[in-house]
Amino acid sequence: MDPELLDALGTAKYMYLTTYSRAGRRGTVPVWLWYHEGAVYFTTLRASLKARRIKSSGRVTVHVGKKDGPSFEGRAEWVDGREDLEEALLCAYRQKYWILVPLWMGRRISKGLAAKTSVLIRITPLATGHQT
């Protein structure tokens, strides 16, 4: 992976995630991120459009840090039953987003994952994907 992209994944607070419908329509939204062991993780509501598109196709494009930041094509998937990863993500979020997570979002994320109204998403960069 490109050194600029690796550096951005380690330091950026946001990524701009593009998901694709079956018809190829795209939508891009900013989301928090946690880079861990070669993959990018985040949580979202299971009923969200991005979660439904990921479950349907798995195709994503990620721009790290800003809309025109370093990018890669990836394969996204729902990750269920991995409480260890959920807890590690929350721990990383507490350090990275040190005001929002301890005061408010941490409880919301924990409750959503426990109630299965939220889902953990893993994005694996494609080896042959475009990287800038």
Pick from 87, 84, 86: nearest CA to 121: 86
Given a contact cutoff of 8 angstroms between Cβ atoms, the answer to whether 34 and 92 are in contact is yes
Q: What is the pLDDT of residue 38?
A: 94
Q: What is the pLDDT of residue 104?
A: 61
Q: Spell out the domains of the chain, with CATH numbers in brackets.
A: 3-79+117-125 (2.30.110.10)
Q: What is the pLDDT of residue 2?
A: 85
Q: What is the pLDDT of residue 19?
A: 98
pLDDT tens digits, one per residue of 82-127: 999 999 998 888 888 877 655 567 778 888 898 999 999 999 999 7
Neighbour order of strands in the sheet with 26-32: 26-32, 14-20, 59-64, 71-79, 118-125, 39-45, 34-36
Average pLDDT over residues 64-80: 96
Q: What is the pLDDT of residue 41?
A: 97
C-alpha torsion sign, points 90, 2, 69, 23: negative
Q: What is the pLDDT of residue 129?
A: 44
How far is CA 81 from its chain centroid?
17
pLDDT tens digits, one per residue of 35-59: 999 999 999 999 999 999 999 999 9
How far is CA 35 from its chain centroid?
9
Given a contact cutoff of 8 angstroms between Cβ atoms, the answer to whether 69 and 16 are in contact is yes
Beta bridge partners, 30, equal 16
Neighbouring residues of 111: CB distance < 8 A, sequence distance ≥ 6: none
Average pLDDT over residues 52-74: 96
